[in-house]
Amino acid sequence: MQRFEGKVALITGAASGMGRATAIRLASEGAGVYGTDVNAEGLAKTRDEVESAGGEMRSGLFDVGDRDACFASVGEALDAFGRLDVLCNIAGILRVAHAHEMSVEDWNSVIATNLSGPFFMCQAAIPHLLETHGNIVGVASNAGLMGQAYTAAYCASKGGLVNLTRALAWEYMKRPIRINAVAPSGTETNLAADANFGEDMDPSLMDRFYGMRGMSQPEEIAGAIAYLASDEAKSVHGAIWTLDNGITAG
């Protein structure tokens, strides 16, 4: 199924995890993909995987926490493909700490990457997405819908992204653009694997975030993103889709 034939998607965080899986998925369905990340090696691997499967991908090293870099990445995507139809805001970082011990640097870096970055990308992309009647899909988290111990900055950033999605969806309600987000729980990515919970942290406080069905796979999240980004989801606007194996159901 070639739902994205003739369309172009810009994907942040494309060097690994959900970003890589989404790049591969959209390219496999015909999209031209422009991927960004700060990880050059991972970005090159994603591009190799996309191209070895017959897809087309260009890439650039950009830090989404830098507003100028966000605008530059959109400009490069337009230079490479001539249009923009889909923006996937997937880049994200996590810092683990007792809230009263979290450094200002860690707080600022999480907010910059996970919340300011998606906003800057939206600012840069929306004028072009309005031209193509395109759409935006952000990656929030169930941590943005419920409290999670030792990750205050992450929860705040993802909760902010949830309401940023809703705010933009309402503001552009009468314009030709759709804006949605997914909210996964624990997913087998480098971000989850690299989370370092100290010996003085109570692991029982984290149990509910892993649920009774285990971790999700990046490809599962990419499948949901692909649907939301496709024309099949024309009636979906302002939605926050929980992909958390039922964790927020109880």
In this structure, what CATH number is given to the domain that contains residue 44?
3.40.50.720
227 tagged catalytic: no
Q: Output the pTM of the full model.
A: 0.93
How far does CA 160 lie from the centroid of its chain?
Answer: 14
3-state percent helix, strand, coil for the chain, nearest multiple of 5: 50, 15, 35
Residues 6+ apart with CB under 8 A from 75: 124
Q: Is residue 2 part of a domain?
A: no
- Name the strand (E) or helix (H) holding 32: strand 32-37
Q: Is residue 250 part of a domain?
A: no
Q: What are phi and psi of 241, to 5 degrees?
A: -90, 115
Q: Is residue 174 part of a domain?
A: yes
Which residues, given as ranges, of the chain have pLDDT below 70?
A: 187, 189-198, 208-213, 215, 250
Q: Is residue 147 part of a domain?
A: yes
pLDDT digits (tens, 9 = 90+) for 81-139: 999 999 999 999 999 999 999 999 999 999 999 999 999 999 999 999 999 999 999 99
Q: Is residue 3 part of a domain?
A: no
Q: Is residue 1 part of a domain?
A: no
Q: Which of the following is catalytic: 154, 172, 210, 227?
A: 154
Q: How many domains does the chain contain in total? A: 1
Structural domain harbouring 192: 8-245
